[in-house]
Structure 1
Amino acid sequence: MSCRPNKPHGEGRLSAHLSTPMTPQPSRTTPSSQASGSTSTPPAEVNHPHYLSKPQLTSPAAVNAAIDIFTIDQGHVTLPDDLCPLDALSSILRNISSVFELDVSADLDLTCRNILHRILQFIFDTNTQSALEEDSEIFAHLSSKQKARILAQAIAAFTVIFQRLAQTGEKVTYGVLNREAQLFTESDQRALMQSLIEGGAVFENCTRKSDIAEAILSAIDADEDAATPQPVAADDKQDFMFSPSAAQEHKNMGVPWGFSIMAIN
């Protein structure tokens, strides 16, 4: 399989989110409904695993398939010192892709480096992406917990994007991938999810890998309401109000608080 050439960032931008097809819920016939010919589904069963759509059930499996990259050392989530971030991200992408089993166009390889590069463009700011793909020396100087948080953010984002692809019910082409990744980038979910992972205590107080998976899944499933802490960092959407060139400015997402990656000329 081959990859399509990279296209300009922002291709496939839509003005509104597409509606997500809902999986019909099985109905249960009660004695009273048999007499009237009607059927009903008890409200208590709506969220039962038997009634959940495949993407909802697949997300935990995808996250669990990707967390083997982490190790736990004296309660702290760590990564190997000699870890190549691009190799790690490629492995994560392959593992998550294999779980979802999408119907993919013959001319698209969702796990190749060009597609990984494209997806990372939708997830991280320019400096973080550069540290992950081009200048691993910068990544190497991050603390282990900073590295772990960045990779956890990537796992969450990969999972959400593949979940979106599964929910469309369409054959996955480059255009469909570009569209769904762009919609994720423009959503409030991205900033909220990354902020929750960034502030998660699990990276400094962890006893088993399932704790990491639970933290990532909680960030993915977080509702944006009064009970959920909102992101503190300024996102690129806010930047757009001040500068017409904000599309080229740093989004400050994916870089641990108190740490900034300096541009090298």
Structure 2
Amino acid sequence: MSSTSSKCQEGITASLGYLALEAGQLSVPTDNKLLDTLAECLSTFVNIFALEDEEKALSSPSTLETVLKSIFDNENEVFVMEDSLLLVEGLSDQERLSLFLQAVTGMAMVFQHLSLSGATMTPSALERELEIFSEGDERHEMLEKVEASRFLTACYDKKDLGVYLMKIVEDEDEEEDITPENHNHNLVTSWSATKQTINTDSDEWDSSRPCKNMGLPWGFTILALN
């Protein structure tokens, strides 16, 4: 494993430490906001990679939002970025977990991209590299793979999950260790949801950004904000 890959794995492993694991089910603790937990994860990746960053582009208060916007599609980022109780209470434990794992895996891919680019880190360079990542197919494929992962419904070892996420980062053919036969779980769950419309007149909704090609995560129901 290369030095960059080792750092990605270290960041993923450290981030998974924020998850609770009980009776084969992972969950994101609700005592902290998801955004606050992801801020800690981003700080972990920044410290592990220790990229040359004289202008402190990666330490800027706005960096978390910029990174998350490069990872998620417009339709989904609102669930990570907004503090609205209507949105937060509308998420199931599995949906929160999916968003968390997508964010962490995306961060690993972002820092891998930044490390391999060799670019001198400045705010403009960071913005440019994130835009390249955001428009790439690998980002979309990562979101789909995490969303479809059986680890969302059954996990017995965080280490296995970390290895699985790292395979997604490396774009390897991943095979999950957990199988329905081994653990007698129905790990493939069918989700359905009625999609409603978010009030696009809300000052908090950013409609200026181009919409990327991905719909809502499974199970999400958009609540109208009046």
TM range (shorter): 0.7 to 0.9
Q: After TM superposition, give the deviation of residue 246 of structure 1 in Å.
A: 9.8
Distance 1:161 1:263, change over 3 A: farther
Distance 1:141 1:81, change over 3 A: farther
Matching residue within 18, 21, 24 for 1:75? 24
Q: After TM superposition, give the deviation of residue 117 of structure 1 in Å.
A: 1.1
Q: After TM superposition, give the deviation of residue 218 of structure 1 in Å.
A: 2.0
Per the alignment, residue 13 of structure 1 pairs with none
Query: Is 2:163 aligned against 1:217?
Result: no
Of 123-132 and 197-206, deviating more is 123-132
Per the alignment, residue 113 of structure 1 pairs with 61
Query: Is 2:134 aligned against 1:134?
Result: no
Per the alignment, residue 132 of structure 2 pairs with 183
Matching residue within 96, 100, 113 for 1:151? 100
1:198-209 correspondence to structure 2 within 5 Å: 198-209=147-158
Query: Is 2:29 aligned against 1:88?
Result: no
Secondary structure at 2:46's aligned position in 1?
A: helix
Query: Is 2:207 aligned against 1:258?
Result: no
Equivalent pair of 1:131/1:139 in contact (CA under 8 Å): yes
Q: Which runs of 5+ in 1 are unaligned?
A: 1-48, 225-244
Secondary structure at 2:17's aligned position in 1?
A: helix
Query: Is 2:99 aligned against 1:163?
Result: no
Q: After TM superposition, give the deviation of residue 197 of structure 1 in Å.
A: 0.4
Following TM superposition, where does structure 1 have runs of at least 4 consecutive aligned residues deviating by more than 4 angstroms? none
TM-score by length of 1: 0.66
Q: Quick check: which has more Rg, 1 or 2?
A: 1
Q: After TM superposition, give the deviation of residue 150 of structure 1 in Å.
A: 0.5
Secondary structure at 1:55's aligned position in 2?
A: helix
Query: Is 2:73 aligned against 1:125?
Result: yes
Deviations 1:203-254 (A, max 9, x none): 2111121122122112212259xxxxxxxxxxxxxxxxxxxx995446435x
Paired letter, 1:116:
L
Q: Which has the higher contact order (CA 8 A, sep 6+)?
A: 2
Q: After TM superposition, give the deviation of residue 98 of structure 1 in Å.
A: 0.8
TM-score by length of 2: 0.76
Using the alignment, how far apart are the partners of 2:33 and 2:26 within structure 1?
Answer: 17
Per the alignment, residue 39 of structure 1 pairs with none
Q: State, as a whole percentage, how many aligned pairs show the same letter.
A: 25
Secondary structure at 2:155's aligned position in 1?
A: coil
**Equivalent residue pairs, number:** 192
Per the alignment, residue 45 of structure 1 pairs with none
Paired letter, 2:225:
I
Deviations 1:116-153 (A, max 9, x none): 11112211133432222223421233111111111110
Cα RMSD (Å) = 2.3
1:223-238 correspondence to structure 2 within 5 Å: 223=172
Distance 1:206 1:135, change over 3 A: same
Secondary structure at 1:61's aligned position in 2?
A: helix
Distance 1:136 1:95, change over 3 A: farther
Secondary structure at 1:176's aligned position in 2?
A: helix
Paired letter, 2:80:
L
